[in-house]
Amino acid sequence: MWGGRFSAKPAELMQAINVSIGFDRRLAAQDLAGSRAHAAMLLKAGVISSDDEAAIQRGLIAIDAEIAAGTFPFRDEFEDIHMNVEARLRELIGPAAGRLHTARSRNDQVALDFRLWVRDACDRTGAQIQALQRALVAKAEPHADAVMPGFTHLQPAQPVTFGHHLMAYVEMFGRDAGRFADARTRMNESPLGAAALAGSPFPIDRDHTAKALGFDRPTGNSLDSVADRDFALEALAAATICAVHLSRLAEEIVIWVTPQFGFIRLSDAFTTGSSIMPQKKNPDAAELVRAKVGRLLGSFTQLTVVMKGLPLTYSKDMQEDKVPTFEAFDALELSLAAMAGMVADMQPIVENMAKAAGAGYSTATDLADWLVRELGLAFRDAHHITGAAVKRAEQLGCDLPALPLSELRALEPNITEGIYKVLTPEASVASRMSYGGTAPAQVRAQIKRWKDILA
C-alpha cells in the first residue's frame, strides 16, 4: 500500500510485530459500517461518482456476506482489517475500490472502528448488568423478611434480611450501568473525517457520516480525534469497577455455601467436584468470577501505560489498545452471565441464616437504642451499659435475649421487661424503618422501585 515510497518488502520480523489482523478482524463489522457511511458521504459531497459509489457499496455488501459465511480471505500480508477489506474490495470491483480511501486515513478509520466497537460493548454490558439486577431482585423479593447476620469486619454486627443484602448489589450494579451509560455518552462523537491528523481538503460532510453511524456529532479537533483513546480507558475503568462488585458478590457466595455458614445451596450446574475427594462440591464458577477482576484491572493498567507518554497524534503503540480491551470485555461479559446464572440458581437456607442472625450478640445495638429511647440515657452511657451486659452474657454463656432481667437491672435499675421485645433478630430488622433500612417494608419498597426502573 506504500509501494511508491518503499522498494523492498518488510523483514519477516517486522511483519510479525506489525501485523494485527489476527486480533483486529473483530472490528470487521464496524469497519464495513464506517466504509459504507464514508462512501455515501463522498457521493453526496461530489467527491466520487454514483457508479463508483454503487460499486463500492455492492462490494462491501459482498465482503460482509463472506465474513458472515467464514469464507473471507484474511491475509497477514495486508496487516490489518482496513487493508484486508480494501484489498478484497479491489479484487471484487476493480479500480473503483481505490476511491473509497479518499479523504480518510487509517488513523481516523481505526479510531472510528474501535470507538464503534467499544460503544457496542458498553451497550451489551449495560444490558447484561440489567439482567443480573433482575435476577437479584427476583431472588430478593421472596426473602425480604428472611433474617440473616449483617457483618462488619466479617464479624456479626446487626441483623439484616437476605433480601436487603441482595438489594445492596442491585444498587452497586446500578451505578455500574450508569458508568457505562455515561462513558457511552462521552464517546458518542465521530472521529471520521479527521484523516491522518489535520483534517481533509475535500468538501466532506462530517455531520453526515456522524449521523449515519449513530453518533451525536463529529469530534471537534482533528488531532484529538486520532490521538484519543479515553473512550476505551473510561470503559475499561467502568468494567474494572463492575468486576470488583462481581468479585465481592462471588466471595460472599463462596463463603455462604461452606458448611460452616450453610446460608445457600448451589446446584450441580454451577459447582464442580474433586478428582480425589468424592464429597466435594466446589463453587468454582464463583471463584472464577472472583478472579476475573485481575484480568480486567490488568487490561486497564496495560492500556494506561501504553497511552501515558505518547505525543500527539497517532503512534503505532496504539495498536496495542485492542487486545486488552477485547479480553477485558470478553471476561466481563462471561462473568456477568455466570453471576446471573448463579443468583438464579442459589437457594437460601433460611433456617440457618435465622439461627446465625442472633449469634454474636447481634442485637446489642438494639439494647442500647432502647435505653436511649425508653429511659432517656445518653447514647454513650447506654453504649457502656450494653457493653457490660454483653460481657455478663459471655460470663453466663448465654445470648442477650436469655440474659435474666435481674442481671440487666444490676447494670441499670430502670430496665423493664419491655427490653426483651427488641432483642430478637426479627424485632431488630423490623425496627430499621429509616429510608433504605433493612425493615422488610423498606426492602419491599426498594424492590418495587427497582422493578419499575428495570421494567
Query: Catalytic residue positions?
Result: 153, 274
Question: Of 165, 184, 174, 180, whose CA–CA distance to 130 is shortest?
Answer: 174
Residue 362: CB atoms within 10 Å? 25
Q: Which residues of 173-182 are buried (b: 16+ CB within 10 A; e: fewer)?
A: bbebbebbee
Q: Are 74 and 23 in contact (CB under 8 A)?
A: no
CA distance 144 to 160: 10
DSSP 255-279: HHTSTTT--EE--GGG-B--SS-TT
Residue with cell 489476527: 22
Query: Helices 50-69 and 81-93, interaxial angle, to 10°?
Result: 120
Residue 161 backbone phi and psi in degrees, to 5: -110, 155
Helix, strand, or coil (residue 217)? strand
How many Cα atoms within 13 Å fall on the side-chain side of residue 268? Answer: 3
Q: How would you classify residue 262: left for phi > 0, otherwise alpha for psi between -120 and 50, otherwise beta?
A: left
DSSP string, 97-128: GGGTTTT--HHHHHHHHHHHHHHHHHHHHHHH
Phi/psi at 272 (5° precision): -135, 170
Rg (CA), the chain: 30
Q: Is 44 helix (H, G, I), strand (E, B) or coil?
A: helix
How many whole angstroms separate alpha carbon 108 and alpha carbon 143? 53
d(CA 454, CA 173): 12
**284-307 and 322-345 helices cross at what angle (nearest 10)?**
160
Residue with cell 437491672: 409
Amino acid at 27: L
Is the omega angle on the peptide bond into residue 313 within 30 degrees of 0, that is, cis? yes
**Contact, 234 vs 187, CB < 8 A?**
yes
